[in-house]
Amino acid sequence: MTESLPRISKAVIPAAGLGTRFLPATKATPKEMLPVVDKPAIQYVVEEAVAAGLDDVLMITGRNKRPLEDHFDRNYELEEALSKKGDQNRLAKVQESSDLATMHYVRQGDPRGLGHAVLCAAPHVGREPFAVLLGDDLIDPRDPLLARMVEVQEQHGGSVIALMEVEPDQIHLYGCAAVDAIGESDVVRVTGLVEKPEQADAPSNFAVIGRYVLDPGIFDVLRRTEPGRGGEIQITDALQQLVTGSGEGGPVHGVVFKGRRYDTGDRGDYLRAIVRLACEREDLGPEFRAWLRRYVTEEMQAP
Ligand code: G1P
């Protein structure tokens, strides 16, 4: 009898960053709590993990991140006030985030990079493959990416990263992958990885976006990974070692994503995400779209 593999159930969300691009908003509020329409950005990410069947969520936090823990916890005072008023609608909204997943938290301590943040998850994750979701990347729920990555990991083993083609002049903002086709339309074999290369040195225009399904062998590799770009321990450098076979945890495959992604770590993209998602909302959309249409017309007529 063949033993079936344990299903991937754990998601790790690094959330220890300082959010300096959004100062002063992030002086006393974690950037993950900034609202995208009326929900904090981090809730979309946890919902995405849960939608892919990963309901054990470990957040890697740091100083000043208490609001994250509070958001995914009960708020009895608020719940009582809303139920006294009979406001079931808002009560459901308050309870939604605390009922979503089993949440765990660990603090990173020293901010030594994304690779180091992922390494903080080792005791919790143990020996199972697990997912990593970066909070700055918001994937539209209608374009499921993580579930496909889990499927590819179960099929090929090893580790799986998410890739997206970007304009060549944007590649310096991302990890970049050299790839080989394997005869599947949305899956490639990764043959090399480099963190934020100059355009001239980039092996391709395949950017790594913030979703990973990793073999636990990555932890041993991360323990040996020296600080790289920016003096930080980079997950991209550890993955490169899996690609070259110098660590257990490979091979590395890439799922090529063609859906809607918003980089909520960038102010312009953050605003675009809000406008797009607000337009599509049943409750807010009709009125907001009508206003937006008038606004754009006026803007175009302006001298
Ligand atoms: C991180 C990773 C990078 C990846 C990016 C995706 O960079 O280091 O490889 O392409 O996330 O958003 P960061 O944006 O945190 O600097």
Cα of 171 to ligand 1 centre, how many Å?
11
Average the pLDDT over 72-98 and give the result. 95
What percent of the chain clears pLDDT 90, i.e. is strictly above it? Answer: 86
Using DSSP's 3-state secondary structure scheme, residue 215 falls into: coil
Is residue 4 very low, low, confident or very high in pLDDT (cuts 50, 70, 90)? low
Q: What sign has the CA pseudo-torsion 141, 121, 226, 193? A: negative
With a 6 Å cutoff on the Cβ, whether 208 touches ligand 1 is yes
> What is the number of the ligand 1 atom nearest to the C-alpha of 114?
8
pLDDT the model gives residue 2 = 43
Helix-helix angle 285-301:267-280, to 10 degrees: 130
Q: Which tokens is 43 given?
A: 């809730």
- 110-152: pLDDT as tens digits: 889 999 999 999 999 999 999 999 998 999 988 999 999 999 9
Domains and CATH numbers, the chain: 10-265 (3.90.550.10), 266-303 (no CATH)
The whole-chain average pLDDT of the chain stands at: 93
Task: Give every CB contact of residue 287 below 8 A, 6+ residues apart in sequence.
Answer: none
Q: Residues 144, 52: contact at Cβ < 8 Å?
A: yes
Lowest mean pLDDT: which of 109-113, 114-118, 179-183, 211-215?
Answer: 109-113
- Phi (first) and psi of residue 84, to 5 degrees: -60, -35
Ligand 1 atom closest to the Cα of residue 175 is: 9
Nearest Cα neighbor of 178 from 215, 146, 206 is 206
